[in-house]
Amino acid sequence: MASTPIRIQAFLANIPLFRGLAADEIDRIAEQSKSMHADRGTILFQRGQPSEGFYVVVFGQVKLSFISKTGDEKVVDLLGAGQSFGEAVMFMEKEHVVTAQALADSMLVYVSKAAVFDELERDPRFARRMLAGLSQRLHYLMEDLEGYSMHSGTQRVIGYLLRDEGDSSSGAVELVVTLPATKGVIASRLNLTQEHFSRILHELVARGLIEVRGRTITIPDAQKLRVYEP
């Protein structure tokens, strides 16, 4: 996949994890990092492989997943531009617990474990940033667990469709949402079967709350969808 090269220093300096570091600190990390292209379908690492660094998505999309004992795929996360993955197992010096695969033609920056560990020795501020990033990921996973345990399938789908809309709108607001992956992948991400996910979409269509055309979902009234109780 051909693409315009990026300047790693400039990219790293503008992601939250590294923002605020001095230029020489960014340069040291960039020296032990590399940009890489991943065609759609490329496996970046497999569950069980050792971790020697972590990844940041420049553009594209990456799926984190594992295969259950019954042979079904469980999608753990879908990651896009500016998001990172693989930090936790890198710090633990453990094997990867998920498989990472590019769902679209993507560019990533791979940051080596040596670069991170060297900078941690030099700068306590960097350690705090890494801890904050990992804590945010943990909080995100706890919200997921709460959603699976406390919310119905319909509530999970509605929450996903409105995830970028916020809670401050008043009155009718039309939204257009493009699903970033196939319905099967989104269903797995929400801990639903594809059939259950499709039934929920059909129910919301029948009630006039959404319109579905392929991966494009139009929400005529976001507030009405938000307050809907199945």
pLDDT in tens, 3-14: 445 789 989 888
The token pair at 36 is: 């890489």
Measure the CA dihedral 38/186/165/224, to 10°.
Answer: 160
Is residue 193 within 8 A of residue 187, CB to CB? The reply is: yes
In the chain (230 residues long), the average pLDDT of successive 10-residue segments reads: 66 82 87 94 95 94 91 90 89 90 96 90 79 72 67 90 65 83 91 93 96 94 90
**CATH topology (fold) of 8-150:** Jelly Rolls (2.60.120)
**What pLDDT does residue 168 have?**
45
**CATH topology (fold) of 153-226:** Arc Repressor Mutant, subunit A (1.10.10)
- Residues 21-45 have pLDDT tens digits of 788 888 999 999 999 999 999 999 9
**What pLDDT does residue 68 have?**
83
Between CA 176 and CA 153 the distance in angstroms is: 21
Nearest CA to 161 out of 131, 132, 128, 186 is that of 186
**What pLDDT does residue 93 have?**
84
**What pLDDT does residue 166 have?**
56
**What pLDDT does residue 2 have?**
44
* Per-domain boundaries in the chain: 8-150, 153-226
Is residue 59 within 8 A of residue 15, CB to CB? The reply is: no
The radius of gyration of the chain from alpha carbons, rounded to an integer in Å, stands at 20
**What pLDDT does residue 21 have?**
77
DSSP state of 171: S
Look at the chain and count its residues: 230
Between CA 63 and CA 54 the distance in angstroms is: 14
**What pLDDT does residue 171 have?**
54
Burial of residue 49, with CB atoms counted within 10 A of its CB: 0-12 exposed, 13-18 middle, 19 or more buried: middle
**What pLDDT does residue 46 have?**
95
Between CA 181 and CA 186 the distance in angstroms is: 6
Is residue 47 within 8 A of residue 97, CB to CB? The reply is: yes
